[in-house]
Structure 1
């Protein structure tokens, strides 16, 4: 499991334990409950190892396919729109110079 995901899971466990201690009015030992929860988290991670590996592979594949706007624009044939924009800019400059504005 990625370190950031593990950290988030542990933070969630800590919040859940705090909430359980709060709801029990302090009758529940938070440290014992948290240690049990962490042990169960490790067990869950072992059983879900294959699924998590598939998830990471899917995320990596999606990130590899993601292209920046510039690359996607260049791939889809940006020549004509850029030519039109350039001609329009040149015509606007010529009109400004011709009318003295």
Structure 2
């Protein structure tokens, strides 16, 4: 599991454990429950490993197709208008 996705999953675990402790009226030990949930996270994710791999491949492909602002406008030949706008902004700030 990617680090960013693990952080999101653990944040959800914390929320779920806090809710369970609240519903139990404090009779449930939240620290123990959270430790068990974190330990079981990988086991819970195993059945969805194939789907998760397809999801991350799709994310990577989508990210590969994205261009930065500079790349997109350099490809379209907009360098000169951007330079003129930048010089005008500096001149306006100096004035």
Q: Partner residue of 1:56? A: 56
Cα 1:72/1:41, change in 2 over 3 Å:
same
| Larger RCO of the pair (alpha carbons < 8 Å, separation 6+) | 1
Contiguous gaps of at least 5 residues in structure 1: 87-101
Cα-Cα RMSD: 2.7
Count of equivalent residues: 83
Task: Pick which of 46-55 and 21-30 moved more.
Answer: 21-30
Matched, 1:11 2:38: no
Gaps of 5+ in 2: 85-95
Structure 1 counterpart of 2:92: none
1:47-75 deviation digits (Å, cap 9, x = unpaired)? 11111111111111122111122221222
Q: What are the within-5 Å matches in structure 2 for residues 37-52 of structure 1?
A: 37-52=37-52
Q: Larger Rg: 1 or 2? A: 1
Q: How does the TM-score come out when normalised to structure 2? A: 0.65
For 2:68, the equivalent position in structure 1 comes to 68
Q: Which residue does 1:22 correspond to in 2?
A: 22
CA distance in 2, matches of 1:53, 1:64: 16
Shift of the 3–78 alpha-carbon distance from structure 1 to 2, 3 Å rule, reads: closer
> Which residue in 2 is equivalent to 1:96?
none
